[in-house]
């Protein structure tokens, strides 16, 4: 089928829709700075994020049962804090810091681009973030999703095939009627392997000055764009 058959766009969120690195650094500084901690908060964000894939890997490979990303993030945070010499936080303070992932800023083009894309397409999250994380982030950032889908409702973390398959099934669409939108080559390759159309949106600032991968589209994806506004224009929205 052709791109004209696409009915729904399914979105990676962390890095593609929102700027997690600067947002987490800002939140960590705002919460921990007043407690007297003066750290490299971007390094704090990077090292928290570095624990993301290893934590999900244990769920993917069956080493542990299904666990929501909020809970993985919290476990990772509890390991991270002593590495930075941070201690003495209350449970409520740890929860609030952990929910910094619910308060991530959209990239400057995100809301305008999504608003244009929504006129023509169903917009659904296909993130590894859990439902409440996605819902709260959407409220915070004004993200106009039509549906919150992805890992938690599919009970599978990307890039497992079930994450893509079940998202299309919930939308009652064939995979080719879906287009995965992501800033990460691996996510798009996995989606394409399940029959999805693919759109690469470059996010060169995702890792700040440290970005060494996903600088550009490394495969012949159906669309390559440098913002959601560019994506909307290329899809005729």
Q: Which residues bind its own copies (CB under 8 A)?
A: 70, 122, 124, 130-132, 135-136, 138-139, 145-149, 152-153, 170-173
Nearer to its own copies, 136 or 227 (CB): 136
Give the whole-angstrom CA distance, residue 229 versus residue 108: 10
Give the whole-angstrom CA distance, residue 84 versus residue 130: 27
Nearer to its own copies, 37 or 140 (CB): 140
Nearer to its own copies, 35 or 155 (CB): 155
Smallest distance, Å, CB 36 to its own copies? 31
Smallest distance, Å, CB 117 to its own copies? 13
Smallest distance, Å, CB 131 to its own copies? 4
Backbone angles phi, psi at 197, to 5 degrees: -70, 165
Contacts of 30 (CB under 8 A, 6+ apart): none
Report whether 232 contacts 208 (CB < 8 A). no
Give the whole-angstrom CA distance, residue 37 versus residue 120: 47
Nearer to its own copies, 72 or 138 (CB): 138
Smallest distance, Å, CB 120 to its own copies? 10
Nearer to its own copies, 154 or 181 (CB): 154
Token couple for 17: 């829709």
Nearer to its own copies, 113 or 129 (CB): 129
What is 36-103 written as a DSSP string? T----HHHHHHHHHHTHHHHHHHHHTTSS----HHHHHHHHHHHHHHHTT-----HHHHHHHHGGGGS
Smallest distance, Å, CB 91 to its own copies? 16
Smallest distance, Å, CB 204 to its own copies? 31
Task: With CA atoms as reference, report the closest residue to 108 among 235, 211, 226, 188.
Answer: 226
């Amino acid at each position: 089928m052709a791109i004209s058959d696409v009915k729904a766009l399914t979105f990676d969120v962390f890095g593609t829709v929102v700027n997690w690195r600067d947002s987490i650094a800002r939140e960590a500084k705002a919460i921990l700075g007043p407690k007297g901690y003066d750290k490299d908060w971007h390094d704090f964000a990077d090292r928290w994020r570095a624990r993301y894939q290893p934590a999900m890997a244990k769920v993917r490979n069956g080493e542990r049962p299904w666990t929501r990303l909020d809970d993985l993030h919290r476990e990772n945070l509890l390991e991270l804090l002593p590495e930075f010499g941070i201690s003495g936080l209350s449970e409520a303070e740890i929860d609030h810091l952990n929910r910094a992932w619910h308060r991530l800023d959209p990239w400057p083009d995100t809301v305008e681009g999504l608003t244009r894309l929504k006129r023509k397409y169903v917009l659904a999250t296909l993130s590894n973030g859990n439902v409440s994380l996605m819902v709260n982030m959407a409220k915070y950032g004004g993200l106009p999703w039509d549906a919150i889908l992805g890992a938690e409702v599919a009970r599978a973390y990307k890039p497992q095939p079930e994450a893509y398959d079940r998202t299309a099934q919930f939308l009652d669409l064939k995979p080719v009627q879906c287009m995965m939108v992501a800033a990460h080559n691996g996510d798009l390759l996995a989606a394409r392997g399940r029959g999805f159309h693919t759109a690469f949106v470059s996010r060169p600032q995702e890792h700040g000055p440290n970005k060494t991968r996903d600088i550009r589209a490394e495969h012949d994806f159906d669309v390559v764009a440098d913002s959601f506004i560019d994506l909307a224009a290329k899809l005729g929205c």
